[in-house]
Structure 1
Amino acid sequence: MSIPDLTRITTLLLDADGTLFPSEEPAFIASATVTQDFARHFGLTGTFSPEHLRLTTTGKNFRTTAQDLADSQGVHLDPAELEEWVEREKTEVTAYLGQILTPRPDVVAAVSALGSHYRLAMVSSSALTRLAACSTASGLDDLLPADRRFSAEDSLPVPTSKPDPAVYRFALTELGISPHQALALEDSATGAASAVAAGIATAGLVQFVPAGERPGRISHLRDAGAAWVRQSWEELVMDLVGDAVRVAT
């Protein structure tokens, strides 16, 4: 697919997990433990391994995953009890990611280059505490400060998750821009659908998607409305800035 007209774009809205940092696989390791305990507590059946959850719930937060799981098996969740599980999952996953993530020089260089030409913001389904821990561990705090992070879990009056476009619409309002002034960057079809539903042109990035899953992911991103998909941050910078970002490895 060809790149759309970017002349009106002033702001890049960047997904976090799986896009800015390779957090999805380790996050599901920690989250699966909580999900398994949650399922046992409520007598829910199914497969709750880290890999199965990654393949079936990428782009959603734990709140939505837990509610969907309960609804599918006719289990009523008391809102207060659900909040206790959400807080536990948030705490355990955040702590784990803060320990395991490290700065990726190629990503830091690319985001820095893009920040010289566009205003940058982070738009995620994940909680703000998790975004803070991941940003610090990944060396992105200065490039994406706290006041430019928007969470479907924490920033909205009522928590939700992508593919609901609410978090993207909220980010547009807070930043004072129209959808036509923004470009979203997403690694999942769920995220791309969220941005597209908000009227935002969307690009896909699959750098942190396992190689064997990339062809399918690219197809799903395109089906969700991504205008184009790139394999790496370096390729994306070439599209948006025109200058290659090369980092010694």
Structure 2
Amino acid sequence: MGIPDLTGVTTLLLDADGTLFPSEEPAFVASAVVTRDFARQFGLTGDFSPENLRRTTTGRNFRTTARTLAERQGIRLDADELEAWVEREKIEVTAYLGQVLRPRPDVMAALAALRRRYRLAVVSSSALTRLAACFTASGLDPLLPAEYRFSAEDSLPVPTSKPDPAVYRLALTRLGVAPHQALALEDSATGAASAVAAGIPTAGLVQFVPAGEQTERVGLLRQAGTAWVRRSWEELASDLAGETARVGM
């Protein structure tokens, strides 16, 4: 699978968690604490370990996960009560990520190079407050300012989560670009499905996916409709700079 013609692409729409920074594992460490308390509150059973939650819910926000867990066991959640749990999870995960994330020189170098050629924006399922903490901790604020961040949790009239394409469609509208003028970058099949459903050409990046899961993730990203997949920001930036014509993974 080769790299498609990107001649008309002016804008890169970047997923955040697991794509711009290795936040998935630490996020689920903090989120699992809240998820277990949520499960105890409603008598839910299952594996609520950080690792299982990461493997089964990556790309979705806590609201969607909590609602799905409850509905699977016949529990109907009060909207206000659900929002209270969502707020608690957001606060605890945001604080933890702000403590543990660090700048990644390779990511910063790639984004700085790409910014000279493309407009960069962020399209995420995560809340804007969580994104703000992650971007500050990762040193990405100068490269991806707040006005170019779109959240399925906060930017839409009704909160949703990927794979719903609504947040990608919102980003296209706000930025004034057609789907073919953008390229989405995603690390998960859920996120890729969201971008593809919005009609946006999509690339996969598995740099921050655990090494033992990368081959499987590449296959899932392909199934979700990604045009090609790369294992590092360096490779991807080289592709988009037109320096290589490597065949997709």
Normalised-by-shorter TM-score class: over 0.9
Q: Residue 56 of structure 1 corresponds to which residue in structure 2?
A: 56
Question: CA offset at residue 89 of structure 1?
Answer: 0.1
Does residue 77 of the first structure (1) align with residue 77 of the second (2)? yes
SS of the equivalent of 1:150 reads: strand
Amino acid across the alignment from 1:176: G
Q: Residue 6 of structure 2 corresponds to which residue in structure 1?
A: 6
String of CA shifts for 1:31-58, please: whole Å, max 9, x gaps.
Answer: 0000000000000010000000000000
Q: Residue 160 of structure 1 corresponds to which residue in structure 2?
A: 160
Structure 2: how far apart are the matches of 1:171 and 1:196? 14
Amino acid across the alignment from 1:91: I
Question: CA offset at residue 22 of structure 1?
Answer: 0.2
Q: Residue 176 of structure 2 corresponds to which residue in structure 1?
A: 176
SS of the equivalent of 1:180 reads: helix
String of CA shifts for 1:157-209, please: whole Å, max 9, x gaps.
Answer: 00000000000000000001100100000000000000000000000000000
* Structure 1 residues 54-133: aligned runs within 5 Å: 54-133=54-133
Does residue 210 of the first structure (1) align with residue 214 of the second (2)? no
Q: Residue 149 of structure 2 corresponds to which residue in structure 1?
A: 149
How high is the TM-score relative to the length of structure 1?
Answer: 0.97
SS of the equivalent of 2:77 reads: coil
Q: Among all aligned residue pairs of Structure 1 and Structure 2, give the percentage whose two residues are the same amino acid.
A: 78
Amino acid across the alignment from 1:204: G
Amino acid across the alignment from 2:80: A
Q: Residue 139 of structure 2 corresponds to which residue in structure 1?
A: 139
Q: CA RMSD in A?
A: 0.8
Structure 1: how far apart are the matches of 2:80 and 2:113? 44
Q: Residue 247 of structure 1 corresponds to which residue in structure 2?
A: none
Question: CA offset at residue 243 of structure 1?
Answer: 5.2
Q: Give ranges in structure 1 of 5+ residues lacking alignment.
A: 245-249
Q: Residue 188 of structure 1 corresponds to which residue in structure 2?
A: 188
Structure 1: how far apart are the matches of 2:183 and 2:43? 43
Question: CA offset at residue 91 of structure 1?
Answer: 0.1
SS of the equivalent of 2:122 reads: strand
SS of the equivalent of 2:3 reads: coil
String of CA shifts for 1:101-149, please: whole Å, max 9, x gaps.
Answer: 0000000000111111000000000000000000000010010000000
Amino acid across the alignment from 2:127: A
SS of the equivalent of 1:2 reads: coil
Structure 2: how far apart are the matches of 1:9 and 1:119? 10
Amino acid across the alignment from 1:94: T
Question: CA offset at residue 242 of structure 1?
Answer: 3.5
Structure 2: how far apart are the matches of 1:225 and 1:116? 27
Q: Residue 198 of structure 1 corresponds to which residue in structure 2?
A: 198
Structure 2: how far apart are the matches of 1:53 and 1:111? 29
String of CA shifts for 1:199-235, please: whole Å, max 9, x gaps.
Answer: 0000000000011100000000000000000000000
Q: Residue 40 of structure 1 corresponds to which residue in structure 2?
A: 40
Q: Return structure 1 stretches of 4+ with deviation > 4 angstroms.
A: none
Structure 2: how far apart are the matches of 1:210 and 1:76? 35
Report how many residues are paired: 244
String of CA shifts for 1:43-90, please: whole Å, max 9, x gaps.
Answer: 001000000000000000000000000111110100000000000000
SS of the equivalent of 1:185 reads: strand
